[in-house]
Copies of this chain bind each other. A is one copy, B any other.
Amino acid sequence: MVGGGEGAFIGGVHRIAARLDDRFDLVAGALASEPARAHRSAAALGLDPTRSYADFEVMAREEAARPDGIEVVSIVTPNHMHAPVATAFLRAGIHVICDKPMTRTLEEAEALAEEVRASNALFVLTHNYTGYAMVRQARAMVGAGQLGRIRVVQVEYPQDWLTEPVGTDGAKQAVWRTDPTRAGAAGSLGDIGTHAMNLASFVSGLEPREICAELTSFVPGRAVDDDVQMLIRYASGAKGMLWASQVSPGNENGLKLRIYGESAGLEWLQTAPDSLRVSPFGEPPYLLSRGGPGLTPEVAEMGRVPAGHPEGFLEAFGNLYSATADAILAHERGEPRPLGLLPGVADGLAGMRFISAALRSSQAGGVWTAL
Task: Please give, as numbers and ranges, the residues of chain B lying within 8 Å of A218 by CB-CB distance.
Answer: 151-152, 262
A31 to B166, CA, bound (A): 52
Instruction: Choose from B272, B273, B307, B366 the contact partner of A212 (Cβ within 8 Å).
Output: B366
Q: A180 in the interface, Cβ–Cβ < 8 Å?
A: no
Selecting from A107-115, A198-206, A286-294, the interface stretch reads: A286-294
The interface on chain A, measured as residues whose beta carbon lies within 8 A of the other chain's beta carbons, has a size of 89
Asked whether B260 lies within 8 Å of A241 as measured between CB atoms, the reply is: no
Are B368 and A365 in contact, CB atoms less than 8 angstroms apart? yes
Which of A66-74, A90-98, A249-257, A329-337 faces chain B?
A249-257
Q: Which of A13, A161, A247 has the most CB of B within 10 A?
A: A247
Q: Which residues of chain A in 147-204 are interfacial with respect to chain B, using CB atoms and an 8 Å cutoff?
A: 151-152, 154, 156, 159-161, 163-164
Chain B residues whose CB sits within 8 angstroms of the CB of A227 once the complex forms: 151-152, 239
Q: A241-B243, A313-B311 are in contact. Are A13 and B304 (CB under 8 A)?
A: yes
Please tell me if A79 contacts chain B, counting CB pairs below 8 Å.
no
* Contact A239–B260 (Cβ < 8 Å): no
A151 close to B247 (CB less than 8 A): yes
Task: Decide: A309 and B212 in contact? CB cutoff 8 A.
Answer: no
| Sample of 18 more A-B contacts, CB < 8 Å, known A214-B239, A252-B291, A311-B314 | A12-B304, A13-B305, A15-B22, A152-B245, A160-B281, A245-B260, A248-B258, A249-B264, A249-B265, A249-B279, A250-B265, A254-B308, A270-B309, A283-B293, A284-B288, A285-B286, A311-B313, A314-B315
